[in-house]
């Protein structure tokens, strides 16, 4: 479809809602999809349809009727609790008088157009009996087919009301069967997928960890309709809650065989009090829907993320050398000077100083002490960070630093100075996670403290160019001294406090690159990526494991946001490790000074190559071609938007006899009419090129026949670059 016409049609439809005599119909449209809401005779707002756009907009008013069933209220667009719906609610309220019923009726709606791609539909609902108003928001990114949906609840009653549940969104889908792909994990085992058919009843994906909310299970998921979707086939919805704390996603196959998805903040231990005239705005639930498979859905999500969500999603990223695995806590100024020289020698953009640089009374020499005392350790760094930044600048390398500002060790000055800032139960024994506790970000004084840690680092060291923001503990014994009797607000106010700090940091330092880290991938979500340029997928940098972890993350997050470091984990050759780390934002965490000369030269050349191909990886479309869960190999292709350049990564993931790619790998996303020259790149010196090196094929050939990377035990990692040639 002509994209201008498509946008014009969408906007015209959005601005002229279709009103039938007894019902209001609100079609919320993107380039390929429609969410159709309509009112029933009583003015309740129901979902009539969710799926591919219809050719004739005049058909939208009747979509609900086609699915009509015995209990329409099951299709509520935002199910209220305690009145006529007995299904899992999206919203539950205890009113000022103690009554717990809620009924929501349509009042009005409107659509504003932000630009020729983004529009916002707001729908106001009110309880006819109680003075509670709910507004539903649908922000549509038309070209990307992405919707962000959230709600706002206003208390117009004379006394306090309590929000017992307050979801962001309540979707309704209809199909013969529903297939959920969800993830679980733990430290070094992030993003382990499981795919199952949803049965009747409710499946809940949630977390109660407070911080690093997705350590055991992230808030991303996908649901396929009728059969599990493949890369290029099938109907699939990707969803995620944009929230860095406790989330909850209920997936209910109801008595009418409809799938109801209710997603938002977890209401576990979190009834939220609203005073008169107070408003509660939920975070967004973001989703995209594709009828052409998982690959398409992921590419839509990536485009949206780069253009609208991740900080500097179309900008640059810095390659780096991190010192964590070379030194852990055991370094001094001389060691770091050596590593900075190493960074220069390697040819990376930045040196990243990790944990261990702070704390004096309680020096941070291991992970038992020092968190909270953010002054340079005088014996390790007598001349401070400043001297290191200067040293790096002289070497033409930028300097970045690790912080974990939300945390405190009981062995720290901060802990003794501000016991009231620490999250812990006053009368219970403390329980630690990695020997540390969490600071109470619900408290504005703590927010100021955390903000000032970062701000002073930048003020004292104007050359500071990068932050790694870590978060290594969950919240046990949740209790905020500051919140006094309002303890049930803690989990929500913690995350809001965190976002408040990050808002202030971003207001002053809008584009400084910041990595979202959490002892591995325990903290990546689109709420946090609103403030960060990249995330740390896992402490597990064994490249074989990373192929699988990065594969799953790649459905939801674009490669530009994936910080991948070459380390000494695993048993793969250096080339393999570098190739895997290139599929994202490349970094190193190895003792450069100990590299044999040939390896160092190889790394230097790899960085040069990476600088040439990174635009395709960061901004291109990703195609997952050979699935490592099913075959001996993994193949992942990145193609730039003009289809003139592509990079294909291939890896052996099975070490059994004769394992390898038995068939050619068919490429995707190329221009069938153009000719592509293939070059095998990033070869270790002396390793012969494979049979495809130098060959020229048409895009048509490459997509129908494919090419043979010759992946086997002696060529366990093969990178092929493709460029169009004239003619
Ligand atoms: C976490 C991070 C690591 C490193 C250590 C430092 O575990 O994931 O990369 O920064 O903390 O203590």
pLDDT digits (tens, 9 = 90+) for 630-677: 999 999 999 999 999 999 999 999 999 999 999 999 999 999 999 999
In a 3-state reduction of DSSP, which class is residue 330? Answer: coil
What separation in Å is there between the alpha carbon of 470 and the centre of ligand 1? 7
What separation in Å is there between the alpha carbon of 466 and the centre of ligand 1? 16
Whether residue 514 contacts residue 404, with contact meaning beta carbons closer than 8 Å, is answered with no
Residue 65 has a pLDDT of 83
What separation in Å is there between the alpha carbon of 539 and the centre of ligand 1? 7
State how beta strands 320-322 and 192-197 pair.
unpaired
Rounded (5°) CA angle 144-147-149? 165
Which residues make beta-bridge pairs with 150? 137
Pocket test for ligand 1, best of 402, 474, 523, 563 (most atoms within 8 A of CB): 402
Cα–Cα distance, 145 to 96 (Å, whole number): 40
Residue 520 has a pLDDT of 65
- The answer to whether the CB of 324 is under 6 A from ligand 1 is yes
- The answer to whether the CB of 539 is under 6 A from ligand 1 is yes
- The answer to whether the CB of 354 is under 6 A from ligand 1 is yes
- The answer to whether the CB of 558 is under 6 A from ligand 1 is no
What separation in Å is there between the alpha carbon of 185 and the centre of ligand 1? 17
Whether residue 53 contacts residue 33, with contact meaning beta carbons closer than 8 Å, is answered with yes
Burial category of 372 from C-beta neighbours within 10 Å (exposed 0-12, middle 13-18, buried 19 and up): buried
Cα–Cα distance, 348 to 358 (Å, whole number): 25
Residue 13 has a pLDDT of 44
The residue contributing the CA closest to ligand 1 atom 11 is: 519
In a 3-state reduction of DSSP, which class is residue 700? Answer: helix
* CA distances from residue 78 to 12, 65, 101 in whole angstroms, order as listed: 26, 19, 14
Ligand 1 atom closest to the Cα of residue 517 is 8
What separation in Å is there between the alpha carbon of 566 and the centre of ligand 1? 15
Cα–Cα distance, 314 to 312 (Å, whole number): 5
Two tokens at 24? 């209001």
Pocket test for ligand 1, best of 330, 517, 521 (most atoms within 8 A of CB): 517
- The answer to whether the CB of 520 is under 6 A from ligand 1 is yes
Whether residue 639 contacts residue 649, with contact meaning beta carbons closer than 8 Å, is answered with no
- The answer to whether the CB of 519 is under 6 A from ligand 1 is yes
Pocket test for ligand 1, best of 320, 330, 354, 406 (most atoms within 8 A of CB): 354
Ligand 1 atom closest to the Cα of residue 520 is 8
Nearest to 568 by CA among 224, 219, 303, 322: 322
What separation in Å is there between the alpha carbon of 356 and the centre of ligand 1? 10
Cα–Cα distance, 296 to 292 (Å, whole number): 6
Two tokens at 195? 């795919």
The residue contributing the CA closest to ligand 1 atom 8 is: 519
Cα–Cα distance, 578 to 580 (Å, whole number): 5
What separation in Å is there between the alpha carbon of 553 and the centre of ligand 1? 20
- The answer to whether the CB of 589 is under 6 A from ligand 1 is no
**Helical segments of 410-542, H only:** 413-417, 444-460, 490-508
What separation in Å is there between the alpha carbon of 519 and the centre of ligand 1? 5
The residue contributing the CA closest to ligand 1 atom 7 is: 519
Chain centroid to CA 560: how far? 12
- The answer to whether the CB of 620 is under 6 A from ligand 1 is no
- The answer to whether the CB of 355 is under 6 A from ligand 1 is yes
Nearest to 615 by CA among 312, 320, 316, 350: 316
- The answer to whether the CB of 517 is under 6 A from ligand 1 is yes
What separation in Å is there between the alpha carbon of 430 and the centre of ligand 1? 23
What separation in Å is there between the alpha carbon of 472 and the centre of ligand 1? 8
Ligand 1 atom closest to the Cα of residue 354 is 10
Which residues, in sequence order, are CB contacts of 48 under 8 Å at separation 6+?
25, 36, 37, 38, 60, 63, 64, 65, 67, 75
Spans of the chain, pLDDT less than 50: 1-6, 8-21
- The answer to whether the CB of 472 is under 6 A from ligand 1 is yes
Cα–Cα distance, 452 to 445 (Å, whole number): 10
The residue contributing the CA closest to ligand 1 atom 2 is: 519
What separation in Å is there between the alpha carbon of 399 and the centre of ligand 1? 18
In a 3-state reduction of DSSP, which class is residue 324? Answer: helix
The residue contributing the CA closest to ligand 1 atom 6 is: 355
In a 3-state reduction of DSSP, which class is residue 513? Answer: coil
Two tokens at 549? 């972890």
Pocket test for ligand 1, best of 355, 467, 564 (most atoms within 8 A of CB): 355
What separation in Å is there between the alpha carbon of 39 and the centre of ligand 1? 52
The residue contributing the CA closest to ligand 1 atom 3 is: 519
HSE-CB for 251 with a 13 A CA cutoff: 26
Two tokens at 620? 């291109």
Residue 6 has a pLDDT of 47
Whether residue 440 contacts residue 482, with contact meaning beta carbons closer than 8 Å, is answered with yes
What separation in Å is there between the alpha carbon of 87 and the centre of ligand 1? 43
Cα–Cα distance, 572 to 550 (Å, whole number): 17
Residue 18 has a pLDDT of 44
What separation in Å is there between the alpha carbon of 467 and the centre of ligand 1? 13
What separation in Å is there between the alpha carbon of 354 and the centre of ligand 1? 8
Q: pTM for the whole thing?
A: 0.96
What separation in Å is there between the alpha carbon of 612 and the centre of ligand 1? 30
**Helical segments of 89-207, H only:** none
Nearest to 475 by CA among 450, 438, 434, 515: 438
The residue contributing the CA closest to ligand 1 atom 1 is: 519
What separation in Å is there between the alpha carbon of 518 and the centre of ligand 1? 7
């Amino acid at each position: 479809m002509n994209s201008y016409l498509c946008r014009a049609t969408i906007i015209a439809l959005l601005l002229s809602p279709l009103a039938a005599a007894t019902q209001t119909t609100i079609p919320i449209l993107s380039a390929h999809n429609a969410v159709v809401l309509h009112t029933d005779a009583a003015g309740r707002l129901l979902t009539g349809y969710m799926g591919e756009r219809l050719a004739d907009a005049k058909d939208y008013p009747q979509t609900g009727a086609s699915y009509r069933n015995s209990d329409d209220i099951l299709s509520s667009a935002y199910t209220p609790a305690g009145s006529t719906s007995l299904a899992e609610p999206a919203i539950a309220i205890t009113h000022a008088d103690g009554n717990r019923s809620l009924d929501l009726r349509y009042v009005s709606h409107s659509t504003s157009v932000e630009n020729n791609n983004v529009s916002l539909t707001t729908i106001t609902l009110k309880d006819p009996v109680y003075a509670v108003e709910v507004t539903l928001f649908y922000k549509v990114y038309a070209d990307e087919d992405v919707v962000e949906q959230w709600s706002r609840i206003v208390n117009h009653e004379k006394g306090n009301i309590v929000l017992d549940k307050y979801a962001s969104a309540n979707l309704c889908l209809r199909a013969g069967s529903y297939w959920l792909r969800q993830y679980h994990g733990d430290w070094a085992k992030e993003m382990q997928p499981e795919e199952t058919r949803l049965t009747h009843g409710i499946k809940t994906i949630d977390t109660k960890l407070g911080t690093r909310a997705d350590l055991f299970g992230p808030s991303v998921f996908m649901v396929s309709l009728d059969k599990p979707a493949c890369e290029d086939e099938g109907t699939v919805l990707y969803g995620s809650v944009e929230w860095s704390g406790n989330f909850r996603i209920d997936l209910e196959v109801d008595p009418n065989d409809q799938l109801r998805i209710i997603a938002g903040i977890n209401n576990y231990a979190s009834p939220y009090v609203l005073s008169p005239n107070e408003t509660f705005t939920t975070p967004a639930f973001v989703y995209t829907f594709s009828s052409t498979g998982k690959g398409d859905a992921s590419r839509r999500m990536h485009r949206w993320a780069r253009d609208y969500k991740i900080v500097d999603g179309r900008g640059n990223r810095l390659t780096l050398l991190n010192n964590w695995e070379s030194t852990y806590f055991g370094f001094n100024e001389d060691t770091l000077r050596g590593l900075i020289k190493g960074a220069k020698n390697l040819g990376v953009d930045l040196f990243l100083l990790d944990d261990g640089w702070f704390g004096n009374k309680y020096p941070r020499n291991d992970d038992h002490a020092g968190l909270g005392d953010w002054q340079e350790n005088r014996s390790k760094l007598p001349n401070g960070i400043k001297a290191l930044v200067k040293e790096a600048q002289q070497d033409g390398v930028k300097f970045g630093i690790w912080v974990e500002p939300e945390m405190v060790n009981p062995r720290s000055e901060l802990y003794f100075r501000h016991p009231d800032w620490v999250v812990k139960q006053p009368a219970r024994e403390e329980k630690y996670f990695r020997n540390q506790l969490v600071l109470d970000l619900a408290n504005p004084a703590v927010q100021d403290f955390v903000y000032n840690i970062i701000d002073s680092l930048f003020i004292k060291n104007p050359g500071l160019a990068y932050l790694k923001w870590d978060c290594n503990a969950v919240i046990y014994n949740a209790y905020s001294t500051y919140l006094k009797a309002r303890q049930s607000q803690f989990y929500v106010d913690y995350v809001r406090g965190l976002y408040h700090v990050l808002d202030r940091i971003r207001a002053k330092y809008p584009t400084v690159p910041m990595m979202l880290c959490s002892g591995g991938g325990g903290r990546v979500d689109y709420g946090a990526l609103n403030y960060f340029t990249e995330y740390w997928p896992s402490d597990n940098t064994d490249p074989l494991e990373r192929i699988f972890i990065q594969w799953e993350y790649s459905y939801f997050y674009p490669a530009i946001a994936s910080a991948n470091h070459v380390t000494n984990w695993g048993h793969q050759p250096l080339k393999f490790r570098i190739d895997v780390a290139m599929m994202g934002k490349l970094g190193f965490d190895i003792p450069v000074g100990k590299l044999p000369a040939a390896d160092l030269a190889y790394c230097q050349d790899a960085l040069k190559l990476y600088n040439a191909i990174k635009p395709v990886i960061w901004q291109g479309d990703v195609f997952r071609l050979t699935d490592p869960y099913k075959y001996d190999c993994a193949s992942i292709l990145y193609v730039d938007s003009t289809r003139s350049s592509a990079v294909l990564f291939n890896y052996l993931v099975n070490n059994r006899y004769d394992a390898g790619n038995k068939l050619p790998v068919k490429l995707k996303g190329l221009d069938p009419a153009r000719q592509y020259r293939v070059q095998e790149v990033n070869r270790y010196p002396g390793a012969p090129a494979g049979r495809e090196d130098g060959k020229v094929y048409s895009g048509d050939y490459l997509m129908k026949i494919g090419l043979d990377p010759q992946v086997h035990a002696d060529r366990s990692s093969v990178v092929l670059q493709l460029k169009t040639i004239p003619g």
